[in-house]
Each structure stands twice: as structure tokens, then as C-alpha cells.
Chains A and B, each alone.
Chain A
Amino acid sequence: MSATANRIIKVDALARVEGEGSLYVKVKGDEIKEVKFGIFEPPRFFEAFLVGRSYAEVPDITARICGICPIAYEMGAIQAMENAFGITVPQPIRALRRLIYCGEWIESHALHVYMLHAPDFLGLPDAIQLAKANRPLVEKALRLKKIGNDILEVIGGGRAIHPVNMRVGGFYRTPRKKEVQALIPDLEWAIEASLETIQVVGGFSFPALEQDYTFVALRHENEYAIHEGRLISNRGMNIGLEQFLDHFDEEHVKHSNALHGFMKEGKAPYKTGPLARYNLNYDKLSERARQAAKAVGLGAKVTNPFKSIVVRAVEILQVCEDALAICRSYQEPSEPYGAVPVKAGVGYGCTEAPRGICFHRYEIEADGSVKTARIMPPTAQNQKIIESDLWKVVAANLNLPDEDLKWRCEQAIRNYDPCISCATHFLKLTIERD
């Protein structure tokens, strides 16, 4: 192929991601002119129509931002309200919250690892083909995913998508002991299955790409942070949620309906999600999780984004262990929820959605209505860094035929398990070479 010929590579819609986005790559000779990861998911204006709603409705409404990680939205909104009203929930409620979040992680990670991402490493279009090649593996994957959903259903009030049971101050109904204990045998199985998952995906071959990322994740003293903590980075940042907007911002760029997040300092891109969590909270992983990671060659630092699939597998193990421990020690709380002293104020919430931090800030009026709402979903925050990864991937693979390059780019995007619905959704992948 001549270096000066026009090459246009076009993929209209990126698959195996949630939502709809596009990629546009312009190459002139060996020079990359432009890389745009665009999100054409039609805007749905959540922040605008939350205004005037009651604080109590916000968790259910924000859940609808994303069907893949509704807990991230419900929990973030709930914590923000509790923060505004000065509520601290008792330990058993906190444990249940972590448990349901573990459910979302198991479900989402199992879905992504096996059904969305693994086929890339195996050169298959989808998990259906994978099932043809290795049906027992896919059956196991589905069972693992189901265990995540079962947790969501038991704690969330009967459904995994947009669960109905979480509220400001606790839960509408706390599950009975026998309902929670019924999850134990499956979780015991899930730990074995996640160990096996680490083995399987750890054995994939990973395209070379090392990046010097700025990682941002939640950090909690006593646990692998999921639903609570301070925000830290590998560059020394350590802030409370209320300082988030002092350090981070987002901008509206033409090629995307999602706002692009950046760090104010140096207007720099940053990375959130599994790799960030792993690198920043390695010490909080369970011994078993660290050993399993080590067995497939993962140390305390991982900077190849393609290895995120292995990190996700390690995280599945971690949350299965956490979930099992919570189920084993579960005692029915005396009250499902506490009083909610509504008052005017500002509240912040931030949790680790499976794909990264999800930040909420609300201003509440004295009658409990929302005055302003601001939500920064993980995928919006990762957009810039995705583009930066893509830049490198394209540069390193210019010799690949269009089809292969396109696929490699898609795979690089899928490293982020981007949830475009959240970020606003339609991924069009266009690679233009002139």
C-alpha cells in the first residue's frame, strides 16, 4: 500500500459496547492527523430534568441513565443526598450496599470479560461463536454473570436492571437472612470460577502498549474501594469528594454528545476504571486475588490497557470474596432505613462503577427539591484517555490492513468497557487515511 494513497477506513457502529459511539481516525501517509472518539448517543438531559424533582426520586431517575450500571447511579445519588442531609448509615446497611454493588461488578465484569471483550482476543465476532468453540466456558461465564444478577435481584428488590429497593437512608426493605444466605453456595462456586477466569484470560496474548497514565480512583482504608472513599491519584492527589470539581472539569467538544472530562491541572487526561483501581489499591486486594494475579504475571503495576481484561477478572475474584463474606455475616438490620432530615444544602457522591468513578453533585432546596444536578459518568471522564490510547494503537499498527486495524482500535476502546449510554450512546468508527 502506498504511503500517500488515500485510505478511508470506516466502521459505522462500534459493537460490544453499551451505547452508540464512533471513532474517526485520519491518517496522512504515516502521520496521524486526527483521532476522535465520538459519542453520538442522543442527549437525554438528565441533569436538566432532575431540577425540580424530589431528592427521593433522584436515585430511581438517575438509574435510567444506564441500564448496565444502575447501581452506580442510584448509589451515587443516594450518597450525595445523605451527604447533603448529614446522614451516616449504620454498618449493616453499609454492608448491604457493598453487597449489591459487588453484584453489579460481578454481572458487569463477567459480561464484559467473556461476552464483550474476550472474543477480540480470540478473533471471534461474539460470544455466540465462542460458545460454539467452547460451550462449557460460556456456560460458566453465564452462570457467573447470573450470580451477580442474583445478588442484584435479592438485594435490589427483584430485578437486576434499575433495582427498586435502594433509597436515601437505606433500603425500602432489607432482605431476610435466609434470602441472603441462599446466595452463599453460588458465591463459593463463583470464587472457583473467577480463579479459572483469571487463568483463562491471563493466557491471552496482549498487544504491546504501555502508557504513563494518571490514574484516579477511590481509596478506602479498610477495603478495596467500591462504594466509598477519598479520591486519589498516582500523582499525589488525595481529596474529599467535595473537592472534586476543584480538580476536575469537563468540556464540550464538537464530535461528542458527551462532555469530555479532564484534570484541571495541566488540562490533562486521566484514567479511571479497573487499571486505575488496581494500581492504586493493589494493597487492598485480598491475598488470594494478588496471588492469582501474580500467577498470570501481574504485579503491583499494570500499565498495558489491553491487560484490563485480566484486571477485571482479578476484580471479579475480589468482589466474589467480599460478597461471600458479607453474606456469611449478614444479620437483618433492625430498621431498613433511618430518618431523612431534609434541609437545604449541597451533597456529593462518588462510587466506582465497574468502568470507573461516577461523580454526583446536587444542590437541594429546603423542601427537598433538586436545584441543580451535576453527574460525571466514567466514560465521559475516560474519553480523552481513550483517544490517547487510540493514537498510540494506530501509530503502532499503521502497517495493518484496514480491517485488522479497525478491529484493533475497537479492541482498544473495549479495554475501557465504555458505557456510552452513561456518557450520554452510537459508536461510529471511521478511519480515514489520506
Chain B
Amino acid sequence: MARTRPRLGVFKFSSCDGCQLSLLDCELELLAVTEAVEIAYFLEATRKDMKGPFDITLVEGSVTTPHEAELIHKVRKSTGTLITIGACATSGGIQALKNFKDVKDFIDKVYAHPEYIETLATATPIADHVTVDFELRGCPINKHQLLEVINATLNGRKPVVPKHSECIECKSRGTVCVMVAKGEACLGPVTQAGCGGLCPASHRGCFGCFGPMETPNTAALSERLKALGSAPRDIHRLFQTFNANAPAFRQQAESLEDRV
């Protein structure tokens, strides 16, 4: 069954590059991927700078500058299936911490010439700007999930990327719950599965790289964390890190604010 090779574009917005690196980190599958798709634009990997349209586009990073806010519309126009990858692209990422602060103040703190810096007041997910066909979560994404999404898109099936809690993944691999067995603060019950259950397997609580799960009861978790001895400030920090701008986490952090 010969298929025509779809053209793949990889675009970067504000981010750490880790999610697109995940594609190069698929060492065993990389050559097969380059056979299955034509890598038409992927700055991290090739000088080849082919113009759109692309069949599949991976977008990493969040929108933090006026330039990016424009660019994303161009990317959307030039692509068939647009897949956003990573916490930055799907919720704003770590840099969305600036959404809760005075950005000017931030610029003053870091740069000697604030007037050189062009930035928006917020870091926002791609879906706030254009229609997104599939959002792949994670900080960073899981490379196996990335391959699965590419694979499923090529084969016309629904990617196996469940939206249920991290706990299910954790228990499926047989990890002992760190919250129950050690009293550690863990975001697993309200976080979407996908990482493979790494933190609890490393004896620490989940810190929410994959963002809120499908129906996150963050209030119930907060109560429990308090009962386990976490200070409101620590709970606030926990919700306000890698997916601070994801609505469920943002709201939970806000509801803790008067007690921080």
C-alpha cells in the first residue's frame, strides 16, 4: 500500500527546544520516520527550508511576542493537521508564570535595556490563537506518545493518548503510591497520564508536567495535601509551575491565593 509521503513541518515558538528534540531522540525510529514523512521544515535538524503547505505540522512553544502572535496564523494557514506539542504549546508552559506577574518588572529584573525587549504580557497556548487539531501534553512530551501521534495521524486512527489520571499509569506499572505510602505531595490524581509515571517511580510526587487530567478535582486534592501537612504556599507553588496557565491549575492556585 504505497502512500504519498506527507510533508512535515516543525515550528518553534517560546520554549526550551526539548519537545522538538524528542523527535530526534527517537533514535531507533528516526530513520523510519524520515522515510514515512518528508521533513520539509525542521530548523533544529535541517538547513532545508521548504515552503509550505505542510500536511502535518508540529508546533512547540507558546506565544509570547507580537511576532509569534502573527506567525502562528501563517503556520495555521500553511498546514493540514496542526499538532501542538508540549506544555508551552498546550498551556503556556513555564514562561506563563509571567502571566501572574508584572512583565515590565520582570524585564527590568533581567535586562539592562528593557526598551530592546519586545514581549507580550502573557505566554499563551497555541489553541488560544488558532484551531489546533491535536494537543500533545507534557513538559517535555513523551517521545513514545509523539511517535504514536505521528503514527496514528499517518494511519488515520485515533492516537492512544489517554486523558485520565496519572495514577492509572502509575498503578499499571506497579509503582507504590508516594502520597499514600510516604505522605508526599503528589499531583498525580489531577494530572493527565502520559509521562509513564516517572516521578512516583523515582520516589517523589508528580509535579504536573502533563497538565490537568480530564476531570480534575483539584479542590479535593488541595484539601488532602493540606491534611498531609503542606502549607498553602507550597500547594500554590505546586499548581503554579509547569502548567500554571492551564485553567484547572490556574483556578486552584488562585483559590489558594488569599491563604498564601
Binding site for B on A (CB under 8 A): 12-20, 41-49, 51, 53-54, 57, 60-61, 64-68, 70, 111, 115-116, 119, 125-128, 131, 135, 138-139, 142-143, 145-146, 149, 157-162, 164-165, 167, 171-173, 251-254, 257, 259, 336, 407, 410, 419, 421, 425-426
Contacts and interface: CB of A to CB of B under 8 A. Distances in A.
A364 to B, nearest CB: 15
Contacts of A165: 202
Given A17-B44, A44-B95, A159-B140, 5 more contacts: A18-B17, A45-B106, A45-B109, A160-B25, A425-B17
Interface stretch (B113-121, B151-159, B213-221): B113-121
Given A142-B30, A146-B28, A149-B27, A257 B17 contact: no
A434 B21 CA distance: 38
Identify the interface centre among A64, A143, A157, A259: most chain B CB within 10 Å of its CB.
Answer: A64
Interface stretch (B45-53, B76-84, B160-168, B245-253): B45-53
B64 A20 contact: no
A167 B195 CA distance: 19
Contacts of A45: 95, 97-98, 103, 106-107, 109-110
A426 B62 CA distance: 14
Contact of B64 (A12, A14, A42, A253): A42
Identify the interface centre among A159, A253, A259, A410: most chain B CB within 10 Å of its CB.
Answer: A159
B47 A125 contact: yes
A125 B50 CA distance: 12
Identify the interface centre among A18, A49, A426: most chain B CB within 10 Å of its CB.
Answer: A49
Given A43-B110, A251-B112, A425-B12, A18 B21 contact: yes
Contacts of B147: none
B116 A252 contact: yes
B101 interface: yes
A16 B24 CA distance: 12
Contacts of A16: 43-47
Contacts of B130: none
A15 B49 contact: yes
Given A19-B17, A48-B101, A139-B31, A157 B199 contact: yes
The 8 closest A-B pairs by CB, nearest first: A67-B18, A126-B46, A157-B202, A252-B112, A146-B27, A48-B106, A158-B198, A142-B27
A281 B28 CA distance: 34
Contact of B140 (A61, A157, A161): A161
Nearest to A150: B27
Nearest to A152: B25
B84 to A, nearest CB: 16
A419 B140 CA distance: 17
Contacts of B65: 42
Contacts of A160: 25
B15 interface: yes
Interface string B178-213: 000000000000000001101101111001010000
Contacts of A158: 195-196, 198, 201-202
Given A162-B18, A421-B17, A172 B34 contact: no
Contact of A142 (B31, B113, B198, B201): B31
Contact of A135 (B13, B31, B97, B203): B31
A157 B195 CA distance: 11
Nearest to B87: A64
Contacts of A138: 31
A336 B119 CA distance: 42
Task: Give chain A's interface secondary structure class.
Answer: loop
A48 B113 CA distance: 15
B85 to A, nearest CB: 11
Given A45-B106, A49-B97, A162 B140 contact: yes
A146 B24 CA distance: 10
Identify the interface centre among A47, A138, A149, A425: most chain B CB within 10 Å of its CB.
Answer: A425
Contacts of B16: 64-67, 421
Interface string B6-34: 00000011111111111011011011001
B54 interface: no
A309 to B, nearest CB: 16
B112 A60 contact: no
A159 B196 CA distance: 9
Given A49-B98, A146-B27, A157-B202, A43 B111 contact: yes
B119 A43 contact: yes
A103 to B, nearest CB: 12
Contacts of B207: 60
Contacts of A251: 112
A284 B180 CA distance: 48
Interface in B57-75: 64-65, 68
A407 B49 CA distance: 13
B47 A126 contact: yes
B27 A143 contact: yes
B238 to A, nearest CB: 9
Contacts of B113: 252, 254
A159 B198 contact: yes
Contacts of B94: 44, 46, 49, 61, 64
A57 B238 CA distance: 9
A165 B195 CA distance: 14
